[in-house]
Amino acid sequence: MKGFVYLVGAGPGDPGLLTLRGKEVLERAEAVIYDCLVHTDILQYAPADAYLERMGKTGHGTQLPQEEITARLVELGLEGKRVVRLKGGDPCIFGRLGEEAIALTEKGIGVEIIPGVTAASGAAAYAGMTLTHRDYAPCVTFVTGHRRKDGGVEPNIDWDALGKLGGTIAVYMGIKHLPEVTQRLIDAGRSPDTPVVVIHKATWPEQKALDGTLGDIAERVEKAGMSPPALVIVGEVTRARSHLGWFEKSPLKGKQILVTRAAAQATGFCHLLQERGAMPIELPLIELKSFGHQSSVDAALKKLFSYEWIIFSSANAVEFTFSRLKELGLDARVVGAARVCAVGPKTAAALESHGIRADVVPEKYIAESLIEALASTGEIKGASVLIPRAKEARELLPEELERLGARVEVVPIYENVRPEPHPLALEVVKKGNIDAVTLASPSAASNYAELLKENDLPAAHFPVVVIGPATKARAEKLGLPVAAMPDEYTIEGMVGSLEDYFRED
């Protein structure tokens, strides 16, 4: 049985620009052939056992013939594989889509084309401008500045007509022939003062935009040493950059931040970083798992109502507790008259999602502040207290509560285990392409230090931003260079600390 090939546009660089359909087929792929311009974070959507092969061209350096790429796609298709061909930008625009699709269909291999965000759209948006404007850019023209080297017929571009047309011109692969392109447009009637912007690695953390005019942009590009991949945008729309350059003004623009949270918890953090122009690199160092279902744990959960206080030190503790209650056929009613304490707003919000409002939420989201808040109630001495928590949690909370006279029972409801690191994300770390590491728990700090040791990397390899005092203490004990810690011990606080750190750097 013959396979099927999906020709997928991966977008210009930022992994967040992959379409939902592209992600959907990638998650079911048996083999992935990807371009050099595809961000490797996108490959994490592929199944762990999928075959991955990098094949493509970057406009400079090693060139892989298109015929060889096409032949490989045909070979995998004939083997019966479900193949995803990931191409930078949109494969329908200067993506050699026709050659690959025709070759596949001629062999009887099924094909689906999934468009993507093309480089011109991505470059314009991330450089802070539009491609059209109703006052002075009623049209936009996509043109290639590339010249074939294989003896084929060059596209017949009517530069005279293009120069007279007006509107915006987006030149793909034009940086190598920029002097020729700009001169042809000037000869065709475009003013040498026409504004131009050249955008290198659009939507990537390394994005750089260089402004100029048709008359001087080639010289500016040469002096700046700007290299492919780059896209050239010509026209009055480029003047808007001074007002709309949101990406380049982002506090963390261009910074690659290692996110070590559990995969299920990393999404919100990554979104916050992306909104500020950073490129999060996900390398989960913690995986949360239910800690068995021991009879003593289940017995404690079945009689939650009998405790005077139930203390949740994290949103994870809440979710694992209520997940197990559901498995036992119970719900929030089992809490009865017991009073509930949450260590912070996220934990309190998790409780509210299960119909329970926390009676106590400390001002600071750490165990020390929680103890102080409980002590101030004057109702801890002699009280029975249940703490559902992680297996590896600090003993400070139960020990201090017992010192205050409480009768404490600790229930290990979940545990932190270290997952296998994704090889692509690990490769980014090993190559040193990280600007800062984020650690949101002491366990993450321990696992990160262990990972560095296993890969013969020094503990001080990258600056570290931690979520709070306990994580900071663990990190410093392990010799990790703590660069910042927020005043508010939350993910949002960590993002703020990253901004402050790089602003001062």
Q: Which three-class secondary structure string do you get for 5-73?
A: EEEEECECCCHHHCCHHHHHHHCCCCEEEECCCCCHHHHHHCCCCCEEEECCCCCCCCCCCHHHHHHHH
Are residues 145 and 102 part of one domain?
no
Positions in the chain short of pLDDT 50: 60, 151-153
Integer Rg of the chain from CA: 28
Number of domains present in the structure of the chain: 4
Tell me phi and psi for residue 314, to 5 degrees: -165, 160
pLDDT at 63: 66
Helix (H, G, I), strand (E, B) or coil at 347: helix
Amino acid at the residue 474: R
Are residues 376 and 297 part of one domain?
yes
Residue that is last in its domain, among 116, 138, 154:
116
Are residues 343 and 197 part of one domain?
no
pLDDT at 62: 56
Are residues 234 and 138 part of one domain?
yes
Are residues 187 and 97 part of one domain?
no
CA atoms of 114 and 130, how far apart (whole Å): 24
Q: Give all strands of the β-sheet with 208-213 in edge-to-edge order.
A: 140-144, 168-172, 230-234, 195-200, 208-213
Report the residue count for the chain.
505
Helix (H, G, I), strand (E, B) or coil at 491: helix
Helix (H, G, I), strand (E, B) or coil at 310: strand
Tell me phi and psi for residue 4, to 5 degrees: -145, 140
Tokens 């001062």, residue located: 504
pLDDT at 152: 42
Domain that residue 272 falls in: 256-286+419-504
Beta bridge partners of 287: 417
Assign residue 180 the CATH number of its domain: 3.30.950.10
Are residues 296 and 208 part of one domain?
no
Encoded tokens for 424: 């692509």
| Active-site choice (41, 57, 201, 253) | 57
Q: Is 49 a catalytic residue?
A: no
Helix (H, G, I), strand (E, B) or coil at 38: coil
Encoded tokens for 235: 């026209």
Are residues 192 and 102 part of one domain?
no
pTM of the model as a whole = 0.66
E strands in 55-165 = 82-87, 110-114, 140-144
Helix (H, G, I), strand (E, B) or coil at 268: helix
pLDDT tens per residue, range 36-67: 889 888 998 999 899 999 987 655 455 678 89
Are residues 143 and 112 part of one domain?
no
CA atoms of 148 and 154, how far apart (whole Å): 6
**Contact predicate 64/56, CB 8 Å:** yes
| Active-site choice (35, 41, 90, 435) | 35
**In degrees, to the nearest 5, what angle opens at C-alpha 240 toward C-alphas 235 and 243?**
165
Total Cβ atoms within 10 A of residue 381: 11
Q: Residue 426 CA to chain centroid, in angstroms?
A: 14
Tokens 């800690």, residue located: 291
Sequence-separated (6 or more) residues with CB below 8 Å from residue 98: none
CA atoms of 417 and 415, how far apart (whole Å): 6
CA atoms of 94 and 9, how far apart (whole Å): 12
Q: Is 57 a catalytic residue?
A: yes
Amino acid at the residue 399: E
**Contact predicate 89/116, CB 8 Å:** yes
**Contact predicate 181/162, CB 8 Å:** no
What is the β-pairing status of strands 208-213 and 436-439? unpaired
Residue that is last in its domain, among 249, 276, 307:
249
Residue that is last in its domain, among 116, 143, 158:
116
**Contact predicate 335/304, CB 8 Å:** yes
CA atoms of 246 and 209, how far apart (whole Å): 13
Are residues 409 and 302 part of one domain?
yes
Are residues 294 and 282 part of one domain?
no
Q: Give all strands of the β-sheet with 4-9 in edge-to-edge order.
A: 51-54, 31-34, 82-87, 4-9, 110-114
Assign residue 314 the CATH number of its domain: 3.40.50.10090
Are residues 244 and 128 part of one domain?
yes
Tokens 């003004």, residue located: 249
Are residues 499 and 398 part of one domain?
no
Assign residue 79 the CATH number of its domain: 3.40.1010.10
